[in-house]
Structure 1
Amino acid sequence: MDMHDMSAEVTAADTAAEVATDAAASDPANRTQKKASQTCATCRARKVRCDGRRDVCQNCERLGFTCSFQDKSSPHPDSDSITSFSLPRRRVRLACINCHSRKARCSGETPKCARCQAQGIDCVYRPTKRSGGVNGTAIVTGNNSHSTSQQAGATDSEHESVTSEPPEKRVMLRRDENGSHHGHGLPDNNQRHDLSGPSIPRRLTNDAYGPSSSSAYVSLEADCHRRFKFPDEALILKAFNNYFRHVHHVPVLSFIHRASLMQRYHAGMMDKALLLAIVGITSLLTDLGPGTREYGNRCVDECQQMIYQDLENPSTLKIQALVLIMKHRMLSRRFTGAFMLAAIGARFAYALRLNYENPSLCFLARESRRRLMWAFCTIDSGINGGYSDFTLLPPESMHIQLPCNERNFEFDLPQVTEFLRPIPTKPFPDDVGSLLLHVRLLWMRSRVLYCTKNVLAMSDSELTQLPELVKVLADELRNFHEFLPASFKFSDSNLQLRAYSPRLCVFIMIHVWWRQCHCDLFRIILPGIKESLSRSAVDRLDPQFVAMCAQQCYEHAIGMSDIFRSILALDGGLPVTDLDLAVCAYQCARVLYSIYHTRGVEYQLSADDIVERAQRCLAVAKAMNHVPAGAAVVNDLENLIARGFAPNTPSGPGSPNLVSRQTLFRHNPVYQMQIVDDTEVANMPIPSPLNHAGVPSPYGTSVHTPNSNATPVLSHPRPPGMSMSAEMVLGDQNMPKPNLPPVVPPDGLDNNNAFEGAMDGFDFNFESFGNTGLDAGPWFSNDWLNNDFPQMTV
């Protein structure tokens, strides 16, 4: 055998051996047993150590996961079973802005995550590269989602890139041409605060507006593309600071207790509507930064819409917000809105029985409600203009004490104060509150206006009683001034002592209103002045009475201008005041010009002196020039000064008297309402006090001059010399209840808060306090379906 054959045999043998080996390896019977896996598919996917315990490993048992060892039929899971396992996602792809800023766990749910839902705040997600493109915007806040295209030429694919994005990635933002984000409809020039930021502070609650209103209040603009952005925390805190430093001392805005408000805010219980109202009124009266004035207007609009959407659930918080809204509307020269909102607020107040004392509440809560109701009553007396038809809160319905001293309200020191009736017959105590004096004085003015309006409808026989009616009101005003403590009487010394005090505003307004009440009362004999008698009627009056009225009107107008001179000389300047100061300044100048025309020679008046005093009035009125209503008063006063010495011709079409009279009417909210009536109606008739005895009066008596057969019930001893006719002006058939003892405040400020009971809603059970005999039964019965309506005693 040669070498070639031997090599071939060896090669064949090796090949046969390899084939036999491969065949043996491929035989399952000869395959080596593989070691069982000690890691389940779940632990392998989670990349954690597995103990390999059968049936279920310890990790899966502890976490509640499905363990692959539970599958008895497949003890050795293959790769398919591992890849098919779906591990629960422990972190969401995108956290909302609120949770992200607080570094809190976000559930990523839409339209609201669990945390935002629990805290009652809006949930907003940041934009992504797909949703935040230039060609479109996607919006998700609360329960509302909205997608828009900002360019008309956007393609379908561009729309798809926005709308196909999952909801949790859409946000309430837009981009400008430079790619920066801004809010819709808000100024973006040098903003100090993030007015367009979508995040909402955590210290808010929306429980007062029901479960379905949290999504509705976010966007209520007429333009659906403009979305309201809630103020950021920096702006909120600045608004709070400005409100309590500069605005809270305005008499009709002093019903909020600062410590209680801040306590609720930091506890996350702040009411959204009230917060927006505070931001709105503060931005109008103070400077919160560039663009905040317009933003404040939107806050007030948003607050109003929130209340509209939840009218069925009245609360004290809503009334507080309504009072702030009404004041904002009046300062913005939107008197029609304030006039209509007053009706809603009055219905809320009566439904909650806020016109009665509630002994179950702590002192702070009771005092806050008193201040709220008296502020509302004061605004109502200014809105109704002396017309009983427009009166919503007549004084005889207020069965609550007058406000206490400001210090006692601030530091929670219970104090028992007097009621509005009876009229005081002794000096006020030294610790009397400024707000109490302000409320009582404006109540006197409302009665003066009601009296002067009824005087215009008096017949010749009734005019003989006019001097007696005027004397009663004049004596009451004089007694008010005499009963003031020495520290409350006006002097340059007392004014300087309050130059840097928050009580400066109310101190000024007390004395300005006292002067204005006299001008309102005595100007009925001045021709060309609002609420003045005709010349023929004045000629039929006693000349001495006419001369006395003119003299008193002149002296008090001069006295008011002297007050203006003193406050203009203050080092700190004028504080933030109400529109009433500008209106009183205008009327003071108008009276001075009228006196100059009619009795300038008799009083030896000079034109230079009248112009100088009118300029003082103008300087004071300009303190409110930053609000629309104040600017209108300033404009009218400037026109009055420009034409002040025009000839005083008889009133007629186009005469100066008629023009000035119409100008003065515009400052009355009743005459500034924009109400359209298609019917042909003459001027508003004023019923005569004698011929319309059945017309109810808002002051506890149906008429000023009683019928001969009427026997009034005297609510207090009649002063000597006062006739029965004059007493009817002051009479009140519904006497207030005796003073209730102060409630012992509970321990701790948490339980003694001015917002106690503020979330309480309407309850048909009126017998809890202030029992008036109302029965809840007829409200739920179907008696109103019958033709014979039963008489219900109220």
Structure 2
Amino acid sequence: MPSCLTCIARKVKCDAPDSLSDCGNCRRLGEECRRHNPVPMVVSRQESKQFTRAGTKRRRSQISCLDCRKHKRKCNGELPCARCIRMKRECEYDTSHGKEGTFHHSYSVQAPVLSSIQTSPSQTSHTSSSAAGYQSGSVNSPYFQSDTSTQDLDPLAMFAKQCPLFPEKELMKSLVQQFFARIAPCRLFGFLHEPTFMMKIDQGYGGRFDEFLLLAAICAAATKVNHEANKQMWESGVEWARYVLQQLILDLNRISVTKLMTLVVLHEHEYRIGNQSSCFLITGLCTRYTHILQLNVEYDNDILCQNSSLTASEKESRRRLMWCCYVMDSFASSGVTHLQLIQENKIEIQLPMSDEHFLFERAIVTDLTPDTIDHRAYLVRLMSIRNRILNYVKRFDKDRDLWDPQSEYHSLLSSLQEWCNIIPENWNLNHTTIYARKSQGLLSPLIELWIFFHLCYLDLYRVVVPGLSPAMRPEIDAVQIAAPTDFLQSSQEACFNHAVKLTRLLEASIQHEKDGPLDDPNIIIGAHEAIRALVSYAKVASSRINDDTKQLLAELVDISVHHLRLTQKRIPTAILGLRRTVSIIKNSGLAYLNYTNLESDSDSDSSQERPGLEEQLNPLSQFSVAARGLSERHGKGTSSARVGSECSSSQKSMFDDDNLLSPGRDMFPTSLEGWLTSNQFGDFI
């Protein structure tokens, strides 16, 4: 009687009594005892890993993953293997393909709430670098289920199968190009080296999983340039961004520069769709990334990259990323000290170099000469001045008299003038530079730079122009009583002039709207502040203005409102700025301003009644918008504003930023139990 196939394969004696009975060996091994092979001789790699030539399930793995081989542990050959899942490690296999060399196939695991993800394989030459040239980790969670249907796909196709509605390669490439053309020049988003990134896409974009997340985030942000142009693509971009954010949150334990880049791009996406709460929280996450990656210091002392392990473009990419996070943190904190997580005096890197040096990978030492820097460096310096201004207007009553030449008020005015003096001619604002930068695709950053400049002046003039500050503060009224008349009038006229110049910039952006100036959501704040400054000036200087000035005011207000209407078509969330702006016009009581048939925001004036930090900030700032969107709020009296009006002086000092965590001070003046049961600060219980 012939032996069964299992015993033949194992080269042992088969003890089956007859051809219809199972042998003892098969019963002991739990195998089906077969006398003929129903499965043909396997030839594929995948089948040979699972079955023997006898058709039985293979009990030994033909190949072990790199981690199991390194630690000399048994590997079951799965993708990923059981040990890597248990140890929460990246599972990577090394297989040879004839003369093609060695290829690394890495697999990662995901949480069960999402579809299974398989980290894309990449060539050895690419695994050591991220999209900007940095080594990065891959997603690794303990719930991966391998998908054998994606193993024969190229890396990009594998990722596209997992990311919902991810575009085809040609559309994806056009979105990346749109990102570099319309978003990267604005503010400090130019931290990606465009030639390297585009070359990688042309070569198939093989890389680790977090690099594909960066690619998806870039595509998502690129869809937020113009809502009216393609509403369906806009919604698809929202899905991509949501997927990327989920993957990043699931893998917070792995830190890399590539992930920080992805978070920064996601922040811009969320900002453009109006998710200010997400922006505020992502900003905090980005700042913590900069801390742990130590981007605030140079990678090494070899600035000229003569013996450095990083190239000039890689180092510059790190610098730009750090400065971008600094600007993001500045916008989120709005001059409030305890909201700002990046300390400016701890940043010890040079200013961003010009794009020409960055693109051609030249290592230089930047200074304030036009040959080494461009608009990004000037924007960083301007943001530093703006942080000082916003911090000052919240405590100006503790400074010297504003009209004193030695006051900080005059020092800030001098800093703004010095900034203006160092701007080179090719970044000054005139008709020549407008059309020159337009031909270079840099019209948006040019207009944005000068809008921020005039916004800094308007922020500083809050302390001398009544109605310009979002909060009605007694200190501002006190300045109107004590300050000399000529000082007040000259400050008010200067405020009006800067509001006029800012509005003319908005007019230029309307004229060249096809070239991108309306794409930046930050300009919405510019239009809002311009109208508030114009209306405040019209009210405080009503006895000095003539009919020609009134006509000019009406014209400028119409320009700002028209700008917001056009921006709303591209960025729908601009409706918030439009409604609040119209509310300012309607509530002004100025008959010569045309505000008929304009829809206002019914909640625009509620900030004066709502206690809390948000009343001190711009109503369109991230913190203010996020605070208004909270589904739950603390009870009465829990904010610092209400504490200041209803509590004793000793209780009020407890909420003072300078005293709250001072050495030797107890946060609770009595016992914790007594503080809670007394219920003296509101309905806590």
Q: TM-score, normalised by structure 2?
A: 0.66
Answering whether residue 220 of structure 2 is matched by residue 280 of structure 1, we say yes
Asked if the contact 1:330/1:338 (under 8 Å) is kept, the reply is yes
Distance 1:471 1:579 in 2: 31
Asked if the contact 2:463/2:476 (under 8 Å) is kept, the reply is no
Aligned to 1:596: 538
Answering whether residue 543 of structure 2 is matched by residue 614 of structure 1, we say no
Distance 1:657 1:274 in 2: 38
How has the CA–CA distance of structure 1 residues 624 and 92 changed in structure 2, closer, same or farther, with 3 Å as cutoff? farther
Q: Residue 400 of structure 1 aligns to which amino acid in structure 2?
A: I
- After TM superposition, give the deviation of residue 432 of structure 1 in Å: 3.0
Aligned to 1:248: 184
Answering whether residue 340 of structure 2 is matched by residue 391 of structure 1, we say yes
Distance 1:342 1:654 in 2: 26
Distance 1:296 1:551 in 2: 45
Distance 1:492 1:308 in 2: 47
- After TM superposition, give the deviation of residue 639 of structure 1 in Å: 3.9
Aligned to 2:137: 208
Asked if the contact 2:217/2:240 (under 8 Å) is kept, the reply is yes
Q: Residue 483 of structure 2 aligns to which amino acid in structure 1?
A: L
Name the one with the larger helix percent: 2
How has the CA–CA distance of structure 1 residues 214 and 233 changed in structure 2, closer, same or farther, with 3 Å as cutoff? farther
Asked if the contact 1:646/1:656 (under 8 Å) is kept, the reply is no
Paired residue for 1:321, among 244, 247, 262?
262
Distance 2:521 2:327 in 1: 13
- After TM superposition, give the deviation of residue 215 of structure 1 in Å: 3.8
Distance 1:546 1:119 in 2: 70
Asked if the contact 1:374/1:439 (under 8 Å) is kept, the reply is yes
Asked if the contact 2:106/2:120 (under 8 Å) is kept, the reply is no
Paired residue for 1:335, among 267, 270, 276?
276
SS of the equivalent of 2:223 reads helix
Aligned to 2:621: 668
Q: Between 369-378 and 671-680, report the one with greater CA deviation.
A: 671-680
- After TM superposition, give the deviation of residue 517 of structure 1 in Å: 1.0
Q: Between 295-304 and 283-292, report the one with greater CA deviation.
A: 283-292
Asked if the contact 2:364/2:372 (under 8 Å) is kept, the reply is no
Higher RCO, 1 or 2 (CA under 8 Å, sep at least 6)?
A: 1
Aligned to 1:495: 434
Q: Residue 576 of structure 2 aligns to which amino acid in structure 1?
A: A
Asked if the contact 2:580/2:604 (under 8 Å) is kept, the reply is no
Aligned to 2:250: 309
Distance 1:521 1:143 in 2: 50
- After TM superposition, give the deviation of residue 518 of structure 1 in Å: 1.1
How has the CA–CA distance of structure 1 residues 463 and 496 changed in structure 2, closer, same or farther, with 3 Å as cutoff? closer
Answering whether residue 304 of structure 2 is matched by residue 368 of structure 1, we say no
Aligned to 1:632: 576
Q: Residue 482 of structure 1 aligns to which amino acid in structure 2?
A: N
- After TM superposition, give the deviation of residue 631 of structure 1 in Å: 2.7
- After TM superposition, give the deviation of residue 554 of structure 1 in Å: 0.8
- After TM superposition, give the deviation of residue 267 of structure 1 in Å: 4.8
Distance 1:408 1:643 in 2: 51
Paired residue for 1:294, among 225, 235, 238?
235
Paired residue for 1:410, among 345, 350, 359?
359
Paired residue for 1:268, among 206, 222, 228?
206
Unaligned regions of 5+ residues in structure 1, if any? 1-40, 46-64, 73-79, 95-106, 123-140, 147-170, 173-197, 219-225, 419-426, 703-794
Aligned to 1:584: 526
How has the CA–CA distance of structure 1 residues 624 and 214 changed in structure 2, closer, same or farther, with 3 Å as cutoff? farther
Asked if the contact 2:510/2:518 (under 8 Å) is kept, the reply is no
Superposition pairs of residues 326-475 of structure 1, within 5 angstroms: 326-359=267-300, 360=308, 361-418=310-367, 428-455=369-396, 457-458=397-398, 468-475=407-414
Asked if the contact 1:448/1:517 (under 8 Å) is kept, the reply is yes
Superposition pairs of residues 211-226 of structure 1, within 5 angstroms: 211-212=140-141, 215=144
Aligned to 1:518: 457
- After TM superposition, give the deviation of residue 398 of structure 1 in Å: 0.9
Aligned to 1:483: 422
* Aligned-residue identity in percent: 17
Aligned to 2:169: 233
Asked if the contact 2:461/2:495 (under 8 Å) is kept, the reply is yes
Q: Residue 138 of structure 2 aligns to which amino acid in structure 1?
A: Y
Distance 1:388 1:466 in 2: 26
- After TM superposition, give the deviation of residue 83 of structure 1 in Å: 3.8
Distance 1:663 1:624 in 2: 26
- After TM superposition, give the deviation of residue 247 of structure 1 in Å: 1.7
Asked if the contact 2:443/2:515 (under 8 Å) is kept, the reply is no
SS of the equivalent of 1:557 reads helix
1:301-323 deviation per Cα after TM superposition (whole angstroms, max 9, x unaligned): 22222222222221111111111
Distance 1:655 1:268 in 2: 53
How has the CA–CA distance of structure 1 residues 431 and 364 changed in structure 2, closer, same or farther, with 3 Å as cutoff? closer
- After TM superposition, give the deviation of residue 516 of structure 1 in Å: 1.2
Unaligned regions of 5+ residues in structure 2, if any? 15-32, 48-62, 64-76, 82-92, 96-102, 131-135, 148-161, 301-307, 593-602, 645-652, 663-685
Q: Residue 242 of structure 1 aligns to which amino acid in structure 2?
A: Q
How has the CA–CA distance of structure 1 residues 641 and 408 changed in structure 2, closer, same or farther, with 3 Å as cutoff? same
- After TM superposition, give the deviation of residue 644 of structure 1 in Å: 4.6
